[in-house]
Amino acid sequence: MNLSLIKPLTLTALALVFSGTAIASDQSTYTAWSWQRGNTVNIPEARVAQLCGDIDGCEVRIAMYNWDGSGRTASRSSLFYYNTRNRAWRAEAGDRAGTSNNNQTEHVMNAWSCYFTDGNYSQWYNHGDLDGNFAVLSWNQYNATCRVTLVD
C-alpha cells in the first residue's frame, strides 16, 4: 500500500471538515393543542426575526397532528422571509405576502385546520393583527393539534 497517497487524501478531508463552512440548524416549534382550537398561540416577533429575518429566510413547517385519532401527522412546508425593518413578509407557498402589525389579519400559510398567521384569535373571534407577533392557530376543520416549526 502506498502511504504517500493516504496522507494527501487525509489532509484534503481534514481541510473540508475545518474549512470555515459551518452547517448548523436553529429552530423553534410552537404548538396549538386541539383543546386550544379557536385561540392563537403566540410566536414572538423577536424569534421570527432571529430565524427568518436574514438573507436566506427560514423554512416554515406546519403540521396537523392526530386529526383522526390515529396519531398521524400531515405536513406542509414553505420558505419564508421576514423584513425586520418594515415587518413585510413573504412565503413561497401560495406566493402569500403581508405586513405584520398592520391591524389586518393575514395568514402566512395554512394546511387543513392549521394556520401560521399574523392575526390574534380568542374564542373563535379574530381580533386582527394587533402587534408584530405571529401565531399558530388550530381551526375547526378538524379536531387537531397544530404545530409550526421555524428552521433557520
pLDDT at 9: 40
Count the domains in the chain.
1
Model pLDDT, residue 22: 41
0.85 exceeded by pTM = no
Q: Which helix (H) or strand (E) holds 11?
A: helix 3-17
| Residue bearing cell 502506498 | 2
Quote the CA–CA distance of 10 and 59 in Å, as a whole number.
35
**Confidence (pLDDT) at 125:** 98
What is the reported pLDDT for 89?
98
Q: What's the maximum distance between 2 C-alpha atoms anywhere in the chain?
A: 74
Backbone angles phi, psi at 98, to 5 degrees: -170, -170
Residue 143 domain-assigned (yes or no): yes
Low-confidence ranges of the chain (pLDDT < 70): 1-25
Domain ranges, residue 118 = 24-151
Q: Kindly state whether residue 10 falls inside one of the protein's structural domains.
A: no
pLDDT at 4: 52
pLDDT the model gives residue 17: 38
